Structure 1
Amino acid sequence: MNRSAGLLSALYLATSTGLAWTGVLALHHGPPWAACLFAAASLVPVIAVVRECVICDQRRALADMWRRVAGPGAGGADDIVRAELDTACCERWWTSCGTDHDSTCPRRVPRSSAA
């Protein structure tokens, strides 16, 4: 996590703590609905911290992928083409854009005459 994301996460957690403390005070000295409202509001910044962590992980994975593709001797495009060719069922599926299958294809779904 970079410095700005860490600072933003710390701000989110401080906000969440403040809202939770306000909820406790509202529970002791205010109406119960206000305590419930502040308790629910204190969860929103926690969700934001989780979101920041997910974004950081996605950026790191994307950077790793780009390093592998752009690195020396990298066959990133070859790997993508090989994976796509491996997922193709049969020759007829490939030439008909996935609408038909050969009779020997194990993924062939029998067509019924019922409409």
Structure 2
Amino acid sequence: MTRLARALCSLHGAALLWLAYCAVQSARNGATWAVLLFAAASAMTVIAVIRETELADEQRAAAVRAERLARLRAHADELNTACCEHWWTALGTDHDPTCPNQRRRHTA
């Protein structure tokens, strides 16, 4: 979750507390219509916080998917640049006898 989303959720939380306080004060004064209005507004702030957290989760999941896709593409590029199957399975040390890229190994 980004800083902006956290700040927004904090503001929604503060609005929730203020609306709940207003609902309690309206109930004490007998204004039933105001209690219902403040309760509905409080529910909207809860919905907004849930929406923000779900949006952050979706963005995080999309970033993970993009990273995995990039890694898969990098591995596919490695496979495409492999010289021959024997070279690939021997971790780049030996070549097939028919491979055009054969090089003699130097003895040290």
- Report TM bin, short chain: 0.5 to 0.7
Counterpart Cα distance in 1 of 2:75 and 2:42: 50
The equivalent of 1:26 in structure 2 is: 26
| Residue 73 (structure 1) aligned to one of 72, 75, 78 | 75
Compare CA radii of gyration and give the structure with the larger one: 2
Runs of 4 or more, structure 1, over 4 Å off, are: none
Structure 1 segments unaligned to the other structure (5+ residues):
76-115
Residues 33-74 of structure 1 deviation map (CA, whole Å, 9 limit, x = unaligned): 111111111110110000000000000010000001111316
Q: Tell me the TM-score normalised to structure 2 length.
A: 0.65
Corresponding residue pairs, total: 75
Counterpart Cα distance in 2 of 1:74 and 1:47: 43
Please tell me the root mean square deviation across aligned C-alpha atoms, in Å: 1.5
Counterpart Cα distance in 2 of 1:74 and 1:33: 64
Counterpart Cα distance in 1 of 2:28 and 2:76: 63
Counterpart Cα distance in 2 of 1:74 and 1:59: 26
Counterpart Cα distance in 2 of 1:4 and 1:32: 36
Counterpart Cα distance in 2 of 1:61 and 1:33: 42
- Greater RCO structure (CA 8 Å; 6+ sep): 2
Displacement, 1:32? 0.9
Note the 1:1-115 alignment, pairs <5 A. 1-71=1-71, 72-73=74-75
Counterpart Cα distance in 1 of 2:56 and 2:31: 39
Structure 2 segments unaligned to the other structure (5+ residues):
78-108
Q: Tell me the TM-score normalised to structure 1 length.
A: 0.61
Q: Which amino acid aligns with 2:5?
A: A
User: Cα–Cα, structure 1 residues 60 and 24, in superposed 2: closer, same or farther, change >3 Å?
Assistant: same
Q: Which has the higher helix share?
A: 2
SS at match of 2:75: coil
